[in-house]
Chain A
Amino acid sequence: ADTIKVGILHSLSGTMAISETSLKDVALMTIDEINAKGGVMGKKLEAVIVDPASNWPLFAEKARQLVSQDKVSVVFGCWTSVSRKSVLPVFKELNSLLFYPVQYEGEELEKNVFYTGAAPNQQAIPATEYLMSKEGGGAKRFVLLGTDYVYPRTTNKILRAFLHSKGVKDTDIDEVYTPFGHSDYQTIVANIKKFAAGGKTAVISTINGDSNVPFYKELGNAGLKATDVPVVAFSVGEEELRGVDTKPLVGHLAAWNYFQSVKNPVNTEFIKKWKDYAVAKKLPNAATVVTNDPMEATYVGIYMWKQAVEKAKSTDTDKVIATMGGQTFKAPSGFELTMDKTNHHLHKPVMIGEIKADGQFSVVYKTKTPIRAQPWSPFIPGNEGKQKL
């Protein structure tokens, strides 16, 4: 064939559509861009889009369909960990490639997957360190607040071990979980307030998706300001803030590897391309589109795959995997990102941003250089032997 098919596996309906739809659009934009520049090895890319509808078994079915029916060379997709876990066996069985663009809990390393989002040490731990620093407010007590599922549980487990290592006692850590879709945060905010009376407190939020809005609204109305109890979130980015009135949230934080507000030529161009694309394709709310970390990770992932294919001179899975390691790419974050030679994760810079009134972040901290991912957190017992990976 004179085209190379690539699969896009993001939920366009159901609960996760809120986050994943824009990843599909970014992927299409990137593919258009690559095609406009002549494609990959002279062949045009052809996107095959499916909608797994936020349904995990359907993810597996759709992945199988993409790989075995549509014969795509690579799949870009998934957001939640469980969707990734659901498709993993398929990619292993059919020996195909998946690029996963979202920050996650780690504890996984698959030959067939490249992780372009952050591992915990590229997000959670630096953020906590920042909160404990003088600049970050010198927090002594921590509320670990999350939605009850694997990513928050794992992250909090890692963080607890990390905090222990920093001398924080268990009495100064409060771990709280809410069900999916929880929308009444009155009690929790009241408890945070109570807990915060005991000393300088920070909240580390791994609240997922939709629940963030009610949480932040409650926070704002209860008068908990960022200067009193800062909240750092790992799942809240520019895209999520579009749905929130950010004025009461000024000063709360998020940790990512990229922010739209980062200033550098690559990013300026990236943002412009995206805005133009949104207008050209008449995406809903095209006037107010924003970029965020997973979008950048998708963008980087597609380009890195392209480079690897061109180096391998083939789309064959094993060959591409072989050439993927060591690929570099000048990313919108302003850093040159490298795909690790062994662990399939990107070396990424860590940035911490404070929410501004306009829904953007002002970067208050960033690492000097990209950091290597530790998918097997050293803070989890049993992972000692895996640190070289």
Chain B
Amino acid sequence: MIFRKICASIVLLVFSLTAHAAIDGKLLQALAGDDPDARITAVNTIAALGNEEAVEVLTALKNEQLFARDVAVYLVDGEQAKDLGTGKMQKLPDDAEAITINNRLRAALDSALSGLRLFSPDKNVRLVAATALEKEATPEQLPLLNKAYLKENDSEIKSRLQMLIATANLQASDPVVRKAAVKALLDSPNPNLKPVLQKMLAQNPDGSYNEADASIRLEAANTLNAIDGRLARMEFVGNLFYGVSLGSVLLLAALGLAITFGLMGIINMAHGELLMIGAYTTYVCQMLFRKFMPDAVDAYLLLALPAAFLVSAAVGILLERTVIRWLYGRPLETLLCTWGISLILMQAVRSIFGAQNVEVANPSWMSGGITVLGSLVLSYNRIIIIFFALFVVLAVWLILNKTRLGLFVRAVTQNRRMADCVGVATGKIDMLTFGLGSGIAGLGGVALSQLGNVGPDLGQNYIVDSFMVVVLGGVGQLAGTVIAAFGLGEVNKFLEPVAGAVMAKIVILVFIIIFIQRRPQGLFALKGRSVE
């Protein structure tokens, strides 16, 4: 989205510039050539032109829209191609070859374009450009940065530019400038500064310091401390967030199971496959949008949510009516039976969609993230999923505790025969409950499709975790499930940096085992006679 904005504003930029000069053909050929160094030089030379054409050509190169044939270079835009030498529009010759770029060139292009964009009339473009430059503000860019700083009137961008200038000034030869730079950076959130500052503080083998001026060293140490402190805080907040995020994923994966297993007592080994069905439904919705409404493709999730709920619920209801209804009161048989179902569902997906993963793309409004505390990126998809999980929990809680249906569901799961005798159509309730649990699993599948792969094995990866969460929370305890999910998420995320991912997982499992020793009925154990 941001990208599109930039493009739009570049068009604006083009109109605002007055000078118009064609780019030297030699430069263009160098761009198309084989010599990487020459290409970089060409990029920088073109950028130095600072005109509309330069932006156009460099952007096109970055988007791989440039083609070359002999000495001619074409800019392809849709059906048409513009011969950059002559400026004529024409059809792209068949034997023209795309000019490819690699990371090095891409980086050069980025930095060149950012430099150019610092002068864009659009505030956002300038902001993005300033942020992009943060990574490598070098003394060479100083003139450019100073120029931009003087022209800038937006305070946020201005302060950012100031930081950039200070960063570039760290390597200045004048100690006064350096000192000012170090001081200015006291509030910088940029972790990339650390090595530079560390280098200033480092002692050479001969006892001399890289930074000769002791007072600057003092300031540098100060700044370094400030940055370290900020980083530590950021790491803590980061872990907290990661934990909540992991917890929400666990919760979504487990919530359906909390109903089918927790309430109904079905050891539902096919739960994972219901998640998978939800994820595949998302995929199908995306494909439908791509095919029929390519412009609105970002909205596919809005269709996917109800669709996944319905499809999974329908599959669940089908299973319940045909198979599971015969197994109430025989929980262990449900294990065997649903295991069989899970095998069949997995293979069915393999037959229909292939054994490979399918691609589910985040809608653009879910890609990227917000940056907080300087450089901690909280990605949108995770934030949205956290809120989604909370929303689903709330909905389930309301249904189970505030409606007559919920009361019936709980009654039937506790004493099926008596519920029947007081006039509850148990068959219908069973069907609806299992459908609800399956549908919720489908919703979980939609969320999972936004984070991980969508493939026939998707469910298998979550089934063990889901059972752990439900059991840890206490079977049949919705609140327990929620707390267990978030608890496990947090514990995991605070352990992982210390112990590594593998040991963290092992420790978590051991923790679960020990925890159950302490609380044999899970986190939210029911006490008293009613349990027997």
Contact = CB atoms under 8 A, between A and B. Distances in A.
Contacts of A177: 500-502
A181 B500 CA distance: 15
B452 A217 contact: yes
A296 interface: no
Contacts of A18: 355-357, 455-457
Contacts of B450: 217
Contact of B103 (A14, A214, A227): A227
A384 interface: no
Contact of A12 (B355, B359, B376, B496): B355
A134 interface: yes
A317 interface: no
A176 B376 CA distance: 21
A293 interface: no
B381 A221 contact: yes
B246 A184 contact: yes
Interface stretch (A38-46, A56-64, A244-252): A244-252
B352 interface: yes
Contacts of B381: 217, 221
Contacts of B407: none
A242 B242 contact: no
B194 A17 contact: no
A205 B352 CA distance: 31
A213 interface: yes
A365 B372 CA distance: 38
A222 B461 contact: no
Contact of A364 (B102, B192, B375): B102
Contact of B455 (A178, A190, A210, A253): A210
A190 B239 CA distance: 9
Size range of the chain A interface in the assembly: 35 or more
A21 interface: yes
Given A137-B107, A179-B502, A248-B367, A243 B357 contact: yes
Contacts of A136: 103-104
A353 to B, nearest CB: 10
Nearest to A252: B103
Interface residues of B, number: 66
A239 B356 CA distance: 8
Contacts of A135: 36, 102, 104
Given A176-B500, A221-B367, A17 B377 contact: no
A222 B379 contact: yes
A187 B497 contact: yes
B379 A228 contact: no
Given A18-B357, A242-B359, A251-B106, A187 B195 contact: no
B501 A187 contact: yes
A49 interface: no
Contacts of B492: 184
Contact of B242 (A21, A182, A190, A245): A190
Contacts of A134: 36, 104
Interface stretch (B67-75, B155-163, B320-328, B343-351): B343-351
B453 A213 contact: yes
A336 B75 CA distance: 36
A32 interface: no
Contacts of A105: none
B355 A21 contact: yes
Nearest to B97: A263
Of B110, B350, B359, B381, most buried by chain A (CB within 10 Å of CB) is B359
Interface in B295-330: none
Nearest to B489: A184
A121 B492 CA distance: 37
Contacts of A190: 235, 238, 242, 376
Interface string B484-507: 000000001100110011100100
Given A187-B239, A213-B453, A354 B103 contact: yes
Nearest to A148: B502
Interface in A73-89: none
Contacts of B246: 184, 186
Of A134, A222, A227, A364, most buried by chain B (CB within 10 Å of CB) is A227
Contacts of A212: 453
Contacts of B87: none
Given A18-B455, A243-B453, A354-B102, A284 B352 contact: yes
Interface string A5-22: 000000011110110111
Q: Which 5 A-B pairs have the closest CB atoms?
A: A243-B357, A284-B354, A245-B361, A221-B379, A213-B453
Interface of A: 12-15, 17-18, 20-22, 134-137, 148, 176-179, 181-184, 186-188, 190-191, 193-194, 197-199, 210, 212-214, 217-218, 220-223, 226-228, 230, 239-240, 242-245, 247-248, 251, 253, 283-285, 354, 356, 362, 364
21 contacts: A12-B355, A14-B457, A21-B354, A135-B104, A178-B501, A182-B501, A186-B493, A187-B497, A194-B191, A199-B195, A210-B452, A210-B453, A210-B461, A218-B451, A221-B367, A228-B135, A242-B356, A243-B455, A244-B359, A284-B354, A285-B356
